[in-house]
A and B are shown apart, each in its own frame.
Chain A
Amino acid sequence: MSPLRACGRSLSSGQEQAKTPAPQRRINRLQALWSRPLACVDFRHRRLRITAIAVLLLFAGLSIGAMWFAPDYATQNRDCIQQNPSWKYPLGTDELGRDNLSRLLSGLRLSLLLSTLAAACACALALLFGAVSGLAGGFVETILLHSINLVESVPWLFLFLTVRALLPLNVSPSASIWLTFALLAALGWTHAARVLQASVREIRHSEALVYARACGIAGWRLWVYQALPGLRRVSLTQFTILIPTFILAEAGLGLLGLGVSEPLPSLGNLLRQLEKPELVHAHPLVLTPLLVLLLVILSLRTVSGDLEVTA
């Protein structure tokens, strides 16, 4: 290529670049990114996953550390309502004069811990149903699938309202939060059960199991040592999917005023401050719980999505 031609090309490409509108340039760059080798995408994906895990660890560490550096989430300092950030209150105070930072971190701790526990319980229930129906097949499978359909067809919000109304009133705030997540676990296992039931059915007819049988492995040993390890990945994926689902469900209930009782904070009842636009306008820091919730959910989704791809 002659230098003149090269110069002409570079000139024309520079002119083209100048003519191309900015949004189109961004699209071109993205297309170029997609066309890069797979290894590069994998590297970026890994970096994203590491970032997500780091974010989760950071929030978990902060929320546990808050038990020592910002433990008082309940005391109402009524002479300091809706204060702007200060050394004493780094995120300001809420409408009752309570420390926003302490409430945010304590709420995050409770939401993360209990949604994890609820997800574990829901997964165990789903595994039980999925495994029994997948293994037994026939009539048992039909009955169990119909029972899953039945649970799924119940409008969960109304069921939650009814169960809540029937429960004894004199439960402490800490019991109320356990109760909220226990109810979420009891209602939120069905989707995971369907996935696990399909996986069990697949494993039952897999070549690996046929081979194991041919090798003389039978009875409970066949299922415990050969089939269950195959379900580990799927269960783990369902578990990580359920954690953000339960956090969001609690947040939704909190917005309706039906979640965790005062004075315990949770991400749900902290988000209730956003119901007042005038408050958001005057104190933009009330958006912090929303930002934290978004980061936590995105991080959890990234981790669970990654597991899903690997599975």
Chain B
Amino acid sequence: MRKSTLIPAALLTAAMLHAGGELRFCVRGEPRNLHPLTAVDDISDTVRYLTGGVLIRINRATQKAGPELAASWSVSRDNRSVSFRIRPGIKFSDGTPFAPDDVEYTFRQLLDPKLQAPLADSFRVGSSEPTFEIRNGAIKITFAAPVADFVSLFDQLPIISAHSKLGVKAVLGPFMIKEYRPGVELLLVRNPNYWKTDVQGRHLPYLDSVRLPIQQNRETELARFRRGDVHLIDTIDPAIFDELARQMPDAVRDSGPSLDSEMMWVNQSASAPLPAYKKQWFRSRAFRVALSDAIRRSDICRVVYRGHARPAYGPVSPSNTFWFDQKLKAPEFNLALSIQELAGAGFALHDKTLYDAAGHPVEFSLITNSGNQSREKIAAMLQQDLSAIGIKLNLVTLDFKSLIERITSSYNYEACLLGLRRVELDPNSQMNVWLSSAPNHQFNPSQKTPETPWEAEIDRLMRKQASETDRNRRKADFDRVQEIAAGQQPFIYLVNPHSLSAVSGVLKNTSPTPLPPQLVWNVEYLSVQGTALARGF
């Protein structure tokens, strides 16, 4: 009698513990690298997120950092050292205990020049290696110079084991790699030693496995989603999103503006092989502002993105709630103001053609990459918008390699239209764009000394915010950078496309966000089944 009551109870418990099933979603290519410290592409990043355990995790919904493997942490006032109190009793997927020396080992591996880990550069500050002090389950890491933005850096740093025989295959994240079949799929299975539990004390993750079929063709991916072969799709094209919304209204999710933006810029590089009068146009603030004022951004949102985009304000998307400068004025189409700006700078409009003070008709080319239909449509719209102020814009689509060669090496171009993909919230991730000495300062890269006072001011503010510890003071500095960028328009930001996704009805507990990985950021709590498990986050 006693036996007969115990068995169903045990079965029920087992069912509750393993009721998650298998999550399937497509990745659009091969992962370049499955080493957790050297992930460079989106797919490797996703695998790293699903398998790696980190000390601090940024909650993608609230955009606030929270403790993960570290029970708590503190940063010194001079931003040179950080101390972590390690959560006790955690084990790697193979059963090896997790200890503070694993953190030290991870750092030493990361900073090994042979590994060429992309994240290492952010930690390579000063002339000497960091020092480590381990005491009573805590570790203090001291760097030779201040490190900017510890929190978001540690969000990307998976801890690897110093003692496991499996090496980097032993993980602390919710899943571990079971099988990788190149060109076919990646299979991740739940980590039996994952440390997290939900509010009811149940072991996480709910899912048994995550299967990632490698599928480059978006149409096939969509067909598989419709058939129920895969449970979610992210970054959907707006036209397909609208079609899905008609067919499966409960499946689609518009999470609002993403961190990405589409933008154009004119070439201000002194070494560009362009006529002097054109360089003079492009270096004129009034000219750039007039271009910006003449663009109908709301039309781009409506026509190209079918309403699933928002006019871009500046270098930070409004979805980046903390760093976005609320004081920035929304960009508005204003033809009269545009013509007024141009007139003030010596330009004159005759017979629907704009002439500069020396009598040159204003005509320049805009390059963009071929094959991206949305971008080509934006370019065609810019062509018509700028013709209203007498500017003749010639559109040129180039293969991506040629385009990159022109904007990074020969500087033989006049204007460029490209998109910017952002994955990080912190302004330090934009240092390589805003510092005038940076090679990615696209409108005028690799300057020895800032060529304009406003670029010098941006350099000063970016460096200052990077060495600040107080978040609000950093925000004040970066707000000023955003205001200067809005006033000078070195990059003419056009739109922030929305983050569009589709989620199958059988997948429970999803909470899409604009931040990557948009749909699986809370993978521990996802389950594929008929009845949803209680939300535990």
Contact = CB atoms under 8 A, between A and B. Distances in A.
A96 B380 contact: yes
Given A76-B380, A76-B381, A171 B371 contact: no
Interface stretch (B90-98, B129-137, B207-215, B396-404): B396-404
Interface string A137-164: 0000000000000000000000001001
A42 interface: no
B399 A165 contact: yes
Interface string B390-424: 00101111110010010000001110000000000
Interface in B202-249: 219, 239-240, 243
Contacts of A31: none
B303 A95 contact: yes
A258 B240 contact: no
A169 to B, nearest CB: 4
Contacts of B392: 172
Interface in B249-307: 296, 299, 302-303
A170 B363 contact: yes
A16 interface: no
Contact of B394 (A78, A173, A257, A275): A173
B377 interface: yes
A155 to B, nearest CB: 14
Interface string B299-325: 100110000000000000000000000
A277 B296 CA distance: 28
Contact of B399 (A96, A161, A263, A279): A161
Interface in B370-397: 370-373, 376-377, 379-381, 383-384, 392, 394-397
B180 interface: no
Interface residues of B, number: 35
Nearest to A275: B373
A279 to B, nearest CB: 7
Contacts of B397: 257-258, 261
Nearest to B401: A165
B83 interface: no
Contact of B365 (A78, A169, A275, A281): A169
Interface string A258-300: 1001110000000010011111011000000000000000000
Given A96-B303, A165-B402, A278 B394 contact: no
Given A173-B394, A277-B219, A262 B367 contact: no
A170 B370 contact: no
B262 to A, nearest CB: 16
Interface in B38-83: none
B303 A78 contact: yes
Contact of A262 (B239, B240, B383): B383
A66 B399 CA distance: 33
Nearest to B375: A257
Contacts of A76: 380-381, 384
B105 interface: no
Contacts of B399: 161, 165, 258
B355 interface: no
A276 B222 CA distance: 13
A256 interface: yes
Given A165-B398, A165-B402, A173-B394, 9 more contacts: A78-B296, A78-B299, A169-B413, A170-B364, A256-B370, A257-B370, A258-B399, A275-B373, A276-B239
Interface of B: 219, 239-240, 243, 296, 299, 302-303, 363-365, 367, 370-373, 376-377, 379-381, 383-384, 392, 394-399, 402, 405, 412-414
9 tightest Cβ-Cβ pairs between the two chains A and B:
A257-B370, A165-B402, A169-B365, A262-B380, A278-B243, A170-B365, A257-B397, A169-B396, A262-B395
